[in-house]
Amino acid sequence: MEKTLLRFITCGSVDDGKSSLLGRLLYETGSAFEDELALVEGDLSRLVDGLEAEREQGITIDVAYRFFATDKRKFIVADAPGHEQYTRNLVTGASTADLALVLLDARKGVLIQTRRHAFLCRLLGVRRLVLLVNKMDLIGYDQAEYDRFVADFREVAEEFTAIPVSALAGDNVTTRSERTPWYDGPTLLELLETVAPEEDRSAAAPFRLPVQSVSRPDQDFRGFAGLVAAGTVRRGDAVRVMPAATAARVETILVGFDEPDEASAGQSVTLAFDREVDCSRGDVIAAEPLPEVADQFEATLIWMAEEELVPGRQYALKLGTQSALATIQPPKYEIDVTSFEHAAVRTLALNGIGVADLWTDRPLVFAPYRENRELGGFILIDRVTNDTVAAGLIGYALRRSQNIHAQELDVTREARAALKGQQPRLLWFTGLSGAGKSTIANLVEKKLLARGRHSFMLDGDNVRLGLNRDLGFTDADRAENIRRVGETARLMLDAGLIVLAAFISPFRAERRMVRAMLPEGEFMEIFVDVPLAEAERRDPKGLYAKARDGRIPNFTGIGSPYEPPEQPEIRIDTTEMSPEEAAELIVRTVIGQQR
């Protein structure tokens, strides 16, 4: 009979004895199991499409995994560091764990990091917590002290199993200790060998398979591979490919080289259908009742980056095998892990846990995280640095996501553009204050008008006098400023216009966001380049002088950074080219593209 597999995580504060405990378990149970490599690869596959980041250059694994086995079961252990700065490691390990061992030092009791780790494990769906009161030998196996720690921990979790242990002496780790006659519960190993794995619960749920890869069209076998996230599939089952809800029937199931009659949660499988269907990576194969599809959610965010969350900024989102661009709204609140109270905040800093609304640029197939980790857990990635900045847990879809639908219009953007005899373009002028963006953009529009082109100019100051008068100059407000301008410009492009936008737009992320809103080739980034010293020398509005005096905080180039474009379509050096020459160059380029 094949041994079952249990994944668990060890966590707690620094020096609570996690390494000693794992050392004791490995020593008492023997070496790692023989098929360790195959199991590692299978578990890493699960991690990669869960809360672990994918990278074009490979996979970054930031959790130490250990492997051991007994006569009854195999185990994969995620060893999470106790330091606060490594909270991301705990998130990664807990996202796939069936059980969490929360250690505390009997000399210190329940610490802030004990509470943080226990709270995060519960938040990440670890349904079974085990409190290990370690180093009992150092307090003389005092039952009263043990009872006090257990009572303190009940403020963190209502349901858990508590065991008094000494990792160093081996008390109640694999064998029952005579030094704790007042304890009549299981040893740690007895508990680990009898706990039901998460897959046992997931197998009873409706079938869900996020598609990870598809066989090439030139191959005889057309299959759709992935890890079964929930439920069981059998040959002959009727399924649908989401989000399109295309119907099909399962004809073949492959698990490795075998062709079983069924497969269940936790297994990597390849399915073949009885007909040709449009199915690709990111789709979800599902049985009735079908999963939800939405593009607006409330989610819990666990922020894992040194740089704070910028509300309104667009981040790359990965939900299982699905990818999208997500815009995060200001947090509704942050959760204090020591008191569990909700605090009003404008952003989230490193290790902050908060709840916020977000929307994505395409509908996603999902389930609330509490129901399904694989379809409810996502990561956010900074689009500029490619760093994973947050883990997210979907709570529910916002009602407006289901009630608002795009209206089909009979008059198309192509028809409006044809009437004007031009191709819509967004000319995005970016650069420091004083670089000459508005001056050059104004000249460009005059030249376009003289050539019979239909255009409209959006200027940074003018927009802030009306549409964006409610926004300040924090990073979040700057991001929202550019988002609104991008949406406005997109409507104008739908009208067939050539739009000129002159904005400092200091962050690459927001300029990329606007580019991503538009069809390929309609966004032209024009970098009006000037050295900071030259911009200060010009200082047409006297803003640099005020910023140097501290009267304008967060002024770009002084109190806030400017991120120059890396590959602009046009670069204008205003120290070498006059505004008239720059405008003529831009117009020639735009008109040339119109032919």
Catalytic positions, written as ranges: 505
Residue 225's contacts (CB-CB under 8 Å, 6 or more residues apart) are: 211, 212, 213, 214, 215, 268, 269, 270, 271
Dist CA 388 CA 589 (whole Å) = 38
Quick check: helix, strand or coil at residue 64? strand
User: Interior CA angle at 509 toward 535 and 413, to 5°?
Assistant: 100
332, 355 contact by CB (below 8 A): yes
Residue 415's contacts (CB-CB under 8 Å, 6 or more residues apart) are: none
Dist CA 315 CA 330 (whole Å) = 14
Dist CA 496 CA 416 (whole Å) = 5
Quick check: helix, strand or coil at residue 423? coil
68, 25 contact by CB (below 8 A): yes
Dist CA 267 CA 481 (whole Å) = 46
Exposure on the CB side of residue 179, measured as CA atoms within 13 A: 17
**Per-state percent for the chain, helix, strand, coil, to nearest 5:** 30, 30, 45
Spacing of C-alpha 224 from chain mean position: 25
The DSSP secondary structure of 100-130, one letter per residue, reads EEEEEETTT-S-HHHHHHHHHHHHTT--EEE
3-state secondary structure 502-542: ECCCCCHHHHHHHHHHCCCCCEEEEEEECCHHHHHHHCCCC
Token digits of residue 190:
């007895």
Neighbours of 430 (CB within 10 A): 27
64, 101 contact by CB (below 8 A): no
Collect contacts of 567-572 with beta carbons under 8 A, ≥24 apart: 568/430, 568/525, 568/526, 568/527, 569/524, 569/525, 569/526, 570/524, 570/525, 570/526, 570/527, 571/526, 571/527, 571/529, 572/436, 572/440, 572/526, 572/527, 572/528, 572/529
Placement of tokens 């947050």 in the chain: 390
Residue 369's contacts (CB-CB under 8 Å, 6 or more residues apart) are: 125, 300, 376, 377, 393, 394, 395
Residue 35's contacts (CB-CB under 8 Å, 6 or more residues apart) are: none
Token digits of residue 504:
């400092």
User: Interior CA angle at 233 toward 227 and 235, to 5°?
Assistant: 125
User: Interior CA angle at 519 toward 517 and 521, to 5°?
Assistant: 115
Stated length of the chain: 595
Exposure on the CB side of residue 495, measured as CA atoms within 13 A: 12
